[in-house]
Amino acid sequence: MSASSAVLRDSFEDLALANHILAHQHVLDGFGHVSMRHPERPDHYLLARNMAPERVTADDILELDLDSRIVTQGEHRSFLERFIHGEIYAARPEVMGIVHSHSHSVLPLGVTTAAPLRSVCHMGGFLGVATPVFEIRDVRGDETDLLISDAGLGKALAGTLGDSAAVLMRGHGVTVVGISLRQAVFRAVYTEINARIQLQAMAIGPVNYLTEAEGRAAAATNDGQMNRAWDLWCEQAKRARAGQ
């Protein structure tokens, strides 16, 4: 195997593991997906074929271009919402990993105008003081299925994301990005945890949120500790899979 082939195979293995971690951490269930930018071709990205995340193996990983066309040879079926990934990678050159989920604790904060999703604990510092919300009605009216099923909707979602770490999708879910696959997975897990804590705190009374500066400082510190979580989550996901 050439060095290039070995790098690509390692990326396939990492992406399969990311799927298992996110399923084990209850961020993804039978739906949702995680991708990574191609390690050698920044104009391509890697994404599993259309299947439940917990079932993904390295052999299920497909290569797509930034127009979200499958370039892997053979007949393959990809996700309807692959355009989320292609358009964000096109708009954000620094992004190397993307997670789209229907994270249960996040959904309520995408459908209420009472409070935005924001950093309520240091592990969610990357969320800042207000997570943007994508409103598909502003793009296609009020008769869509809420899915990002074409490039135009993907581009509109990427525009709402802007330079944020995450974007809520009203009535649908959340998309989280990172400058590495591991950071995207870390952020997806802690977006769910931060949202859960925020909802619990809001039920008690007024919330003392992190300031913008506190969020930035906490995020920078946590970025240096991500491998601790990744290694643990990998071990837990592998044990869970072995017990099947």
Selected catalytic residue, list 81, 87, 94, 143: 81
Domain total in the chain: 1
**Ramachandran angles phi, psi of 51, nearest 5°:** -165, 165
**Which tens digit of pLDDT belongs to each residue from 9-38?**
999 999 999 999 999 999 999 999 999 999
Write the CB contacts of 224 (distance below 8 Å, at least 6 apart in sequence).
Answer: none
* Whole-angstrom distance, CA of residue 136 vs CA of residue 162: 16
**Which tens digit of pLDDT belongs to each residue from 167-205?**
999 999 999 999 999 999 999 999 999 999 999 999 999
| pLDDT class of 5 with cuts at 50, 70, 90 | confident
CATH number, position 175:
3.40.225.10
* Whole-angstrom distance, CA of residue 215 vs CA of residue 118: 9
Average pLDDT, the chain: 95
Range of the domain at 36: 3-242
User: In which order are the strands placed within the sheet that holds 44-48?
Assistant: 61-65, 44-48, 33-37, 97-101, 173-178, 166-169, 133-134
Annotated catalytic, 81? yes
User: Quick one: average pLDDT of 207-236?
Assistant: 96
| pLDDT class of 1 with cuts at 50, 70, 90 | very low
